[in-house]
Structure 1
């Protein structure tokens, strides 16, 4: 599969950003976000009911995407800027770095058995880790297939956006493109609520937060759970403690259990396994934040499973307990204002200290979960229908600077299944792929067209 770049340009906001908004300071929670960009690729088939020539349709789509993006950036003005330093974005209206490309195959051929490393070709920058001063906040690549299908690859700096923020931006862009009545209006109030503290290095904060996770080359595989399998899994995972697990809880617990088994098979030792699971704070705060609140409005819960506790209902209970034992409303209130950083920093130090002590005494493995389920990525319609597939992309497999033992959960196109992108060391992945309990509920690397 060869992707050829046709054009490069900058899409600027249709109206200039007011002078008082030229610098966007990160929020306290943004300080704890990981480096790099949030990647996603949307694949759209050609609308077969359209009788126009493919070239004409592609031209119309190109014009519509650029014009609507320009209009959208007036509301999402930090997305059109550049990274100023470790704590702020220069909202200079230089625009989104925007590429147009073409590929010498049909969309169905690409998706029949997608090659994960090749998905990087649909992103506007193949080496998209660790942005530095002067880098664009947002980069987009629109690739057309020989059949007229479209892939839209997006990178947004994690400094200012989590997965939900990225979804909000894309929904706003899509609504403008299809000339919808509703207008998505983002809320950038988080930095005035969660006050950043520039006395601490952002790099040090991120390093403390990500300390448990190992860097190195890893293998990425997609593990797909359909609705019927999840229903059976939820029944198996239920208990008196959690009578009706969510699909995310059930899938997370099974992956946790099976990966622990893989770790034991490759190391010969069953160590305790510590997991984190990202939690969206927007609906759990009191009062709630609006759905369109931008930034990294999330935190991670944590749970530990020992060798004696490897049991699916028990692990689901641990996931539920980890989420409910933190009073989210109080947590959000405590980290607001000028004193928020010290309270948050103490929490991080206590967590990492406990884990480091455990690792020193008996050894411990780590798994980090992030869920993009229920954020509506399959609802993003630019005017020619919903996507056939949404790819989280995951990682560059030959990179030595990737975090291993990471799992990204996505909705399937039907909305009731889950597609898990799993990043593990090669030997651990080999063992996981042979786990009969996992294979009883899931399929590996299934075609998105099925």
Structure 2
């Protein structure tokens, strides 16, 4: 598949950022994220046939650029830059975002989505896109957001973005794309309902700190892995998810959520894959972690807070033996339960948040040589399939994960599918363990490996 770049330009906010908003303070949780990007790609069928038949492509591109410019006025830190990775604030200088226009040659949207070739997804992202590689990280600091609009001859459209995770989390990313789409399609009622973003609460509640060097070293060792990795997409349909919920449930956890059940099921089979290729004596214990959105757990709720308002839930240490699903489900339920409103309230007192993070890092750091980790995050319920620029909702949203440039390789992202009847697990794992997983018959009895995307 060949993608031809047609143009590149900077899109700036439609109105200059006021001087009093020039410096946007980053919060503690912004600091804890390190040298990674969030890279969603939205695929649209555009039932109106080809763009050339229905609308002049230039008109559509101008509409997208103009609406992006208006959106950046609302999300003004995203049009700024970071002076360095350790900067405590964003210089909201209206530098703008990179906007790329591209065209797919010789392949229709439907053809690409037949058992999609996952390594090819990077072609739908801006060419300066770094998914965390050291090489281009400085460039990403200077332009924290880049987008690429790619058109297929059949009328299909792909919109991909590379957004610096140091500035925002999945919730803010979704709000950014939904706001841009709302303005682009001229949804006046929706635009009137856009709530003013909260740019200050995160840094007031969780101010940035001087992070000790030993913490930074532990964080990097936990998050980053330089082994060769593979990316695989596994799809669990609604029937499979209900069956998994039954398998993991018990008297103690009779009604697990979909995310709890899938986290448990995938972790169990990841443990089996690890045991299949490694001597247990080398890494006898493992840990499950999951990113948790704190916005609804703080009182009063901060649903419109900008930035990274997330926390890492971690499980108790699990022995790398044949673990039973209901037992593992209990561990996962306890992991999520620890991030409750009462505990979050305690984090807000003094330097408790920093102390908690440092203490956790110290504990984990001591065990890193013998510890394996299964790192989960969920894009479910973020409204990503509501991002409608005027030609319908996306039929496929891909959470691109780089297996080459990025060091942040051992992770699992859960995201809904376009038909709202299942959940996809995008898994990056080292080569040997992934080969074990994709040949696990019990796992594949519930998960489909990279099926074709339904194109209506």
TM-score (norm 1): 0.92
2:395 is equivalent to residue 384 of structure 1? no
Contact 1:40-1:154 within 8 A present in 2 as well: yes
**How many Å apart are 1:57 and its aligned residue?**
4.1
CA distance in 2, matches of 1:57, 1:106: 19
Q: Any gaps of 5 or more consecutive residues in structure 2? A: none
CA distance in 2, matches of 1:420, 1:366: 17
CA distance in 1, matches of 2:130, 2:347: 38
**How many Å apart are 1:56 and its aligned residue?**
3.3
The answer to which of 403-412 and 238-247 deviates more is 403-412
CA distance in 2, matches of 1:55, 1:416: 31
SS in 1 for 2:113: helix
Judging changes above 3 Å, is the alpha-carbon distance between structure 1 residues 137 and 329 closer, same or farther for their aligned structure 2 residues? farther
SS in 1 for 2:58: helix
Matches within 5 A, 1:305-384: 305-307=318-320, 310-335=323-348, 339-340=350-351, 343-359=352-368, 363-384=370-391
Matches within 5 A, 1:38-437: 38-48=38-48, 53-54=52-53, 56-85=55-84, 86=86, 87-104=88-105, 105-124=107-126, 125-129=128-132, 130=134, 131-132=137-138, 135-180=142-187, 181-183=189-191, 184=194, 185-189=196-200, 190-197=202-209, 199-200=210-211, 205-213=215-223, 214-269=225-280, 271-290=284-303, 292-303=304-315, 304-307=317-320, 310-335=323-348, 339-340=350-351, 343-359=352-368, 363-395=370-402, 397-399=403-405, 401-437=406-442
CA distance in 2, matches of 1:425, 1:301: 23
CA distance in 2, matches of 1:152, 1:174: 11
CA distance in 2, matches of 1:51, 1:138: 28
SS in 2 for 1:155: strand
**How many Å apart are 1:137 and its aligned residue?**
1.5
The answer to which of 25-34 and 267-276 deviates more is 267-276
**How many Å apart are 1:313 and its aligned residue?**
1.3
SS in 2 for 1:387: coil
Q: Any gaps of 5 or more consecutive residues in structure 1? A: none
Judging changes above 3 Å, is the alpha-carbon distance between structure 1 residues 359 and 81 closer, same or farther for their aligned structure 2 residues? closer
CA distance in 2, matches of 1:194, 1:98: 33
SS in 2 for 1:132: helix
The answer to which of 59-68 and 295-304 deviates more is 59-68
CA distance in 1, matches of 2:324, 2:168: 36
Instruction: Show CA shifts across 1:342-361 (max 9, x none).
Output: x333323322332343455x
**How many Å apart are 1:326 and its aligned residue?**
4.0
The answer to which of 56-65 and 19-28 deviates more is 56-65
Cα RMSD after superposing both structures: 2.1
TM-score (norm 2): 0.91
Contact 1:217-1:402 within 8 A present in 2 as well: no
SS in 1 for 2:222: coil
Instruction: Show CA shifts across 1:354-397 (max 9, x none).
Output: 2343455xx221111111111110111111100010000111x3
**How many Å apart are 1:215 and its aligned residue?**
2.9
Contact 2:280-2:320 within 8 A present in 1 as well: no
Judging changes above 3 Å, is the alpha-carbon distance between structure 1 residues 288 and 217 closer, same or farther for their aligned structure 2 residues? same
The equivalent of 2:20 in structure 1 is 20
